[in-house]
Amino acid sequence: QAILGGGFGAFLAGKICHHKTRKWYFWLAWLVGLLIDLGLLVLILR
C-alpha cells in the first residue's frame, strides 16, 4: 500500500500541513512520486 499511496499521501500532507512546501526539490519529489503511483495504478488495472 505504501508503494501505491506514498506519493499521493506525501503530496496531501504537504498541501494540508504546509510541510516542506517552499523547496523546489520537494515539489519535484512529490511530482515524481505521483507519476510513479499513477503509472503503477495503470499497470495494475490493465
Give a three-class secondary structure readout of 1-46.
CHHHHHHHHHHHHHHHHCCCCCCHHHHHHHHHHHHHHHHHHHHHHC
Instruction: Kindly state whether residue 3 falls inside one of the protein's structural domains.
Output: no
> What confidence score (pLDDT) does residue 1 get?
59
Q: Do the domain assignments include residue 30?
A: yes
Write down the pTM of the prediction.
0.61
Burial class (CB in 10 A: 0-12, 13-18, 19+), 29: middle
Query: Given this model, what pLDDT does residue 3 score?
Result: 62
Confidence of residue 2 (pLDDT cuts 50, 70, 90): low
Non-local CB neighbours of 14 within 8 Å, separated by 6+ positions: 20, 21, 26, 30
Residue 2 in any domain: the answer is no
Counted domains in the chain: 1
User: Residues 8-44: pLDDT tens digits?
Assistant: 777 788 788 876 677 888 888 888 888 888 888 899 8
Predicted confidence at residue 4, as pLDDT, reads 62
Instruction: Tell whether 41 is covered by a domain.
Output: yes
Name the residue range of residue 34's domain: 10-45
Task: Answer whether residue 5 is part of any domain.
Answer: no
